Chains A and B, each alone.
Chain A
Amino acid sequence: MKAVNLWVAGLMSLPMAAQAQTEISWWHAMSGANSEVVEKVTGMFNESQSEFKVMPVFKGTYPETLNAGIAAFRAGQAPDIIQVFDVGTGVMMGAQGAIKPVAEVLTENGFAFDKSAYLPGIVGYYSSPEGEMLSFPYNSSSPVLYYNKDIFEKAGLDVDNPPKTWAEVWAAARTIKSSGAATCGYTSTWLTWIHTENFAAWNNVSWASNQNGLAGVPELAIDGPLFVKHFQELADLAKEGVFVYGGRTSEAKQNFTSGECGILTESSGGLGDVIKSGMNYGIGQLPYDDTSAGAPQNTTPGGASLWVMGGKSDETYKGVAAFFNFLSQTEVQQFLHEQSGYLPATMAAYEATKASGFYEKNPAREVPISQMMGKPPTENSKGVRAPNLPQLRDIQNEEYEKMLAGEQTAEEAMKAAATRGNAAIKEASGG
Chain B
Amino acid sequence: MRRTVFPNKVLPWVLLAPQLAITLIFFYWPAAQAFRQSVLREDPFGLSSKYVGLENFRKVFADPAYLNAMQVTVVFSLLVAFFALGIALFLAVQVEKLVRGKGFYRTMMIWPYAVAPAIAGMLWLFMFNPSFGTLAYPLRLMGIDWNPLLNGDQAMALVVAAATWKQISYNFLFFVAGLQAIPRSLLEAAAIDGANRRHAFWTIVFPLLAPTTFFLLVVNTVYALFDTFGIIHAVTSGGPGKSTETLVYKVYNDGFVNLIMGSSAAQSVILMVIVIALTAFQFRFIEKRVHYG
Chain A residues whose C-beta falls within 8 Å of the C-beta of B239 in the assembled complex? 248, 397-398, 401
Q: CB of B19 within 8 A of chain A?
A: no
Q: Is the CB of B242 within 8 A of A95?
A: no
Contact (A260, B131) CB under 8 Å given A91-B44, A95-B45, A398-B242:
yes
Q: Which of A137-145, A212-220, A387-395 contacts B (4 or more CB under 8 A)?
A: A387-395
Give the shortest distance, in Å, between A310 (CB) and chain B (any CB): 10
Give the shortest distance, in Å, between B29 (CB) and chain A (any CB): 13
Q: CB of A63 within 8 A of chain B?
A: yes
Contact (A388, B258) CB under 8 Å given A98-B45, A255-B131, A398-B242:
yes
Q: Which residue of B lies closest to A74 (CB)?
A: B46
Q: Is the CB of B131 within 8 A of A70?
A: no
Complex: how many Å from CA A401 to CA B243? 10
Q: Is the CB of B260 within 8 A of A391?
A: yes
Q: CB of A402 within 8 A of chain B?
A: yes
Chain B residues whose C-beta falls within 8 Å of the C-beta of A238 in the assembled complex? 150
Q: Is the CB of A394 within 8 A of B47?
A: no
Q: Is the CB of B131 within 8 A of A258?
A: yes
Q: Is the CB of A390 within 8 A of B47?
A: no
Complex: how many Å from CA A407 to CA B150? 10
Interface size on B (CB < 8 Å)?
23
Q: CB of B43 within 8 A of chain A?
A: yes
Give the shortest distance, in Å, between B73 (CB) and chain A (any CB): 17
Complex: how many Å from CA A98 to CA B241? 34
Complex: how many Å from CA A353 to CA B45? 40
Complex: how many Å from CA A138 to CA B46? 27
Contact of B253 among A394, A407, A427 (CB under 8 A): A394
Q: CB of A73 within 8 A of chain B?
A: yes
Q: Which residue of B lies closest to A184 (CB)?
A: B131
Within residues 206 to 249 of chain B, which ones have a CB less than 8 A from any CB in chain A?
237, 239-242
Q: Is the CB of B152 within 8 A of A405?
A: yes
Q: Which of A2-10, A172-180, A239-247, A275-283 contacts B (4 or more CB under 8 A)?
A: A239-247
Chain A residues whose C-beta falls within 8 Å of the C-beta of B147 in the assembled complex? 245
Q: CB of A250 within 8 A of chain B?
A: no
Q: CB of B256 within 8 A of chain A?
A: yes
Q: Which residue of A lies closest to B44 (CB)?
A: A70
Q: Which residue of B lies closest to A388 (CB)?
A: B258
Q: Is the CB of B259 within 8 A of A70?
A: yes
Q: CB of B144 within 8 A of chain A?
A: no
Q: Is the CB of B258 within 8 A of A248?
A: no
Within residues 380 to 431 of chain A, which ones have a CB less than 8 A from any CB in chain B?
388, 390-391, 394, 397-399, 401-402, 404-405, 407, 427-428
Contact (A245, B45) CB under 8 Å given A254-B131, A394-B257:
no
Q: Is the CB of A97 within 8 A of B256?
A: no
Chain B residues whose C-beta falls within 8 Å of the C-beta of A362 in the assembled complex? none
Q: CB of B151 within 8 A of chain A?
A: yes
Within residues 266 to 323 of chain A, which ones have a CB less than 8 A from any CB in chain B?
none
Within residues 187 to 204 of chain B, which ones have a CB less than 8 A from any CB in chain A?
none
Complex: how many Å from CA A100 to CA B280? 50
Q: Is the CB of A388 within 8 A of B45?
A: no
Within residues 118 to 162 of chain B, which ones have a CB less than 8 A from any CB in chain A?
131-132, 147, 149-152
Complex: how many Å from CA A238 to CA B150? 11
Chain B residues whose C-beta falls within 8 Å of the C-beta of A245 in the assembled complex? 147, 149-150
Complex: how many Å from CA A94 to CA B260? 14
Can you list 15 contacts pairing A with B, beta carbon distance less than 8 Å?
A73-B45, A73-B46, A74-B45, A74-B46, A95-B43, A238-B150, A246-B149, A255-B131, A258-B131, A394-B253, A398-B239, A398-B241, A401-B149, A401-B241, A405-B241
Interface residues of A (CB under 8 A from B): 63, 67, 70, 73-74, 91, 94-98, 238, 244-248, 254-255, 258, 260, 388, 390-391, 394, 397-399, 401-402, 404-405, 407, 427-428
Closest 3 CB pairs of A and B: A401-B240, A391-B258, A405-B150
